[in-house]
Structure 1
Amino acid sequence: METEVKKKNELWEWSKALLIAFGLAAIIRFFFFTPIVVDGESMMPTLEDGDRMIVNKIGYTVGEPDRYDIVVFHAPEEKDYIKRIIGLPGDHVAYKDDQLYINGEAVAEPYLDEYKIGISGTLTEDFTLEERIDQSTIPEGFVFVMGDNRRYSKDSRHIGLVPMDEIIGSTNFIFWPVGEAGVVR
């Protein structure tokens, strides 16, 4: 009789532990971090199609986005996109001769150096913010995003500015495939 009560107690304790573990996992995934799979080649060579990453969902609730952050956001097509922030509120963005200009100053994009080596012509076509969104600066509450694979990326040049409240979070850690695991910039 005593062993039967002991078994029921042990079963109850294991059930509670599993329930707590699943509850904590759900809370962490819903509020703090979530996995995402890179779909497509718009962020190559930084990210490859099929890379699995962790999205930090709390970073922008306590801080502001920075230029060059890689973010995941809800796109107009009812799909989540992953792109790099190029322009912040108040910025004027332009490209000329494959060079990024923010507020009239040339800005380096070292994450594109590897990609520029093997191409002929320019990676990014010339444009100004006015040509893309009919505004001279990015308004408060919005960012301008671009994929690293500029020739094949559907980004702010096509879909317009991204509202900050549509950003799910930032990501810079690949966890799969294991051989590619690590922090990306």
Structure 2
Amino acid sequence: MEEKIQGKQKNEFVEWIKAIVFALLVAFLIKHFLFTPVLVKGESMMPTLEDKDRVMLNIIGPKFKAIDRFDIVVVKMNEEENYIKRIIGLPGDKIEYKDDQLYINGEKYSEPYLDQYKKELTDSGTLTYDFTLEQDLGETTVPEGHYFVLGDNRRISKDSRFPEVGFIPKEKIMGTTSIICWPIDHINFRVN
């Protein structure tokens, strides 16, 4: 009788081990191939994302779906740095900023995610200084296979306006994000 109990306990133990290993494998696959949490460092995406927010990065989405204008993306800059920015220019776009207004291919675009920041400005300046791609990067349009990105906190963001960042090749885009998952008071399932 004791042998049956020990055999049953051993089988139950093996089943628990299998379940735990399976759960860990599924978590590993999800984290490395579908979604992964990313820590926001810095204030370049304020007010949309704040320093130390944790966002969920969709790794698989951009492999099957086009990256859209105004998507928030994580860019692999080098081995030590990842930037989180907003897609403004798609391949072939002509980008210009004039009087704090975005123009893409000569058409005026609104950026409602900047309205709060513009209202909070305490000086008489603009949130985004005037520029064209040609002035800042020597190109008239965003090159094929590349994107033009900006941080929402335009006054301090190091982004595509700077030659050391420049146009972002598609292969450097790690994924898109639209979910803030931490801290609790910042949770948002549709960040724009």
Structure-2-length-normalised TM-score? 0.94
* 2:16 aligned counterpart, secondary structure: helix
* 2:155 aligned counterpart, secondary structure: helix
- AA partner of residue 165 (structure 1): E
Q: 2:169 matched to 1:163?
A: yes
Query: Which of 114, 123, 130 is the aligned partner of 2:134?
Result: 130
Q: 2:26 matched to 1:24?
A: yes
Indicate how the Cα distance of structure 1 residues 150 and 77 shifts in structure 2: closer, same or farther if over 3 A, else same. Answer: farther
- AA partner of residue 147 (structure 1): G
Q: Distance in 1 between matches of 2:27 and 2:109?
A: 41
Q: Distance in 2 between matches of 1:53 and 1:174?
A: 4
Residue 36 of structure 2: aligned partner: 34
Q: 2:170 matched to 1:180?
A: no
Q: Distance in 2 between matches of 1:137 and 1:32?
A: 32
* 1:156 aligned counterpart, secondary structure: coil
Q: In the TM superposition, what are the counterparts of 1:11-160 in structure 2 within 5 Å?
A: 11-76=13-78, 78-119=80-121, 120=123, 121-158=125-162, 159-160=165-166
Query: Which of 7, 10, 17 is the aligned partner of 1:8?
Result: 10
Deviation (angstroms), 1:78: 3.3
What percent of counterpart residues are identical? 55
Q: Distance in 1 between matches of 2:126 and 2:77?
A: 27
Q: Distance in 1 between matches of 2:74 and 2:177?
A: 7
Q: Distance in 1 between matches of 2:66 and 2:137?
A: 22
* 2:48 aligned counterpart, secondary structure: coil
Matched residues, number: 185
Deviation (angstroms), 1:154: 0.5
Q: Distance in 1 between matches of 2:118 and 2:41?
A: 22
Structure-1-length-normalised TM-score? 0.97
- AA partner of residue 89 (structure 1): P
Runs of at least 5 residues in structure 1 that lack an aligned partner in the other structure: none
Runs of 4+ off more than 6 Å: none
- For residues 11-30 of structure 1, the C-alpha deviation after alignment (integer angstroms, 9 at most, x for no partner) is 11100110011001101110
- AA partner of residue 93 (structure 2): D
- AA partner of residue 153 (structure 1): S
Deviation (angstroms), 1:104: 1.1
* 2:31 aligned counterpart, secondary structure: helix
